[in-house]
Structure 1
């Protein structure tokens, strides 16, 4: 959620929060949410981790229209002690980490236009709320998100935010989880995207690699297109355990000076669930 701005914009509180102003949403904006929601809700069952669908039901996010953050936070607080707060857009790293460490999830309040229905650069309310919030109702994942925020505050003092950002990218945003009938989606960047929900599981192009913390922190990622590699965790419990039990200071120190791993690379000691063809990325590169 990093931004170049160092101070809150006009109308924002010191912690960068703003009122959601739910009553100001238009019928067209509620309609856009309903369209996006219906499209994802129809195709995600069986593809997304079951805990995500449970969260949608528990938080009553299946009701029509853009969720009211006050109502959503009331239900979420009862489940795991989290709340959703509105921000004007991307916020500085430290502000983002402080909110997570205090069980506050920051969400943009705007929703994409019809022209942006399949892609927009800055995350909107559908990505932030539909993609992220359902799993915050799951106690273990909720604890992981808080632990990540606390780790971010420590990383900020060590000059290691870029390394830690890769952990967020490859888990919270674009993570897969091992399941008895094959990998499932859980990353918000995937589950809020119709096309990537299909690509991440079904396409032969990307690699699907077993989660390894150090390896992941050395790996570059794509911000402009589908990922060329996805990392598969064993469970939310294992992800939380590794995050809490790892001493990140020597890990960061050990990574200093190490070469980054390219997005498409497969290493000899990787646990490979699927060795991707990379056909999609090659075709896009040729077309460019």
Structure 2
């Protein structure tokens, strides 16, 4: 939950932008929104989400009493992988976001959407942040990947190439797919927290689904206001981690000389898992790229 250029500290927040979750202040109606979303998504994800996500849901028992209390969640999460969830007032500056990740803290908004906004919300809420992101942080390899990404974000800012690293976050942490023995499964938070994208990401014939390629991803722009027209499928969480445990300097040097690849385009070197029809994008033209 980063916001490039945001510099004014929210009143009441600490210097690291954290705030008290104030769990006792949630209303019964707000807890019911969480329960409704949780029950709907957990049922849909049974044979669509990857096993590490499903194991994380069970390990953290996020359904116990409506909106989770971060203090309770953190006791188990810290035991498993050394991570914790911290409440923030909303989008935070990039440097704050990356520092939290690098130190194994996941910043999460504390507000929850209204009952009439179950299917779409412009700004990530606690359901997206906690239901979508936190279960994967119980997996040791993914937990290490997120910390490595945080460290990489601080370096990318120094080089002025953060926009390219942000694409890696988008196509993995938010909208990543995983190859498993049972087939392609979901691990990205932007998918697992959305009923419609959960269905679209795996079932719709429109998007391309391509094998994970670090530099290819970092050359691919993305849209934040519609379904994705390309998804990248990681061969394993271990491979995802390994791809980030390297010096990105030479990569950034190459990317500085390389053109972006249009979202729906195919490259000769792409490993095509599913060739999309792009029917959805054409139907949305001219808005679609």
TM-score when normalising by structure 2: 0.97
Equivalent-residue separation in structure 1 for 2:184 and 2:127 (angstroms) = 24
Match of 2:182 in 1: 181
- Per-residue CA deviation, residues 22-46 of structure 1 (Å, 9 max, x unaligned), is 0000011000000000000111011
Equivalent-residue separation in structure 2 for 1:40 and 1:92 (angstroms) = 30
Match of 1:86 in 2: 87
Match of 1:270 in 2: 270
Q: Is the 8 A contact 2:84 2:104 kept in 1?
A: yes
Q: Is the 8 A contact 1:59 1:134 kept in 2?
A: yes
Equivalent-residue separation in structure 2 for 1:33 and 1:241 (angstroms) = 35
User: How many corresponding residue pairs?
Assistant: 287
Match of 2:72 in 1: 71
Match of 2:46 in 1: 45
Q: Is the 8 A contact 1:8 1:15 kept in 2?
A: no
Equivalent-residue separation in structure 2 for 1:41 and 1:115 (angstroms) = 20
3-state SS in 2 of match to 1:183: strand
Match of 1:223 in 2: 224
3-state SS in 1 of match to 2:231: strand
- Per-residue CA deviation, residues 70-124 of structure 1 (Å, 9 max, x unaligned), is 1111111111110000000000111000000000000000001123211111100
Match of 1:282 in 2: 282
The answer to whether residue 23 in structure 2 is matched with residue 58 in structure 1 is no
Equivalent-residue separation in structure 2 for 1:257 and 1:171 (angstroms) = 24
Match of 1:23 in 2: 24
Deviation at 1:287, TM superposition (A): 8.6
3-state SS in 1 of match to 2:87: strand
Higher mean alpha-carbon deviation, 76-85 vs 110-119, is at 110-119
Match of 2:158 in 1: 157
Equivalent-residue separation in structure 1 for 2:61 and 2:39 (angstroms) = 14
Equivalent-residue separation in structure 1 for 2:287 and 2:133 (angstroms) = 33
Deviation at 1:286, TM superposition (A): 5.9
**Compared CA separation, residues 221 and 287, structure 1 to 2 (3 A):** closer
Match of 1:142 in 2: 143
Q: CA-atom RMSD, angstroms?
A: 1.2
Higher mean alpha-carbon deviation, 173-182 vs 222-231, is at 173-182
TM-score when normalising by structure 1: 0.97
3-state SS in 2 of match to 1:239: helix
Match of 1:202 in 2: 203
Unaligned runs of 5+ in 2: none
Q: Is the 8 A contact 2:35 2:63 kept in 1?
A: no
- Per-residue CA deviation, residues 199-253 of structure 1 (Å, 9 max, x unaligned), is 0000000000000001110001111101000000000001101110x22011101
Match of 2:169 in 1: 168
Q: Is the 8 A contact 1:107 1:129 kept in 2?
A: yes
Over 3 Å off, 4+ runs: none
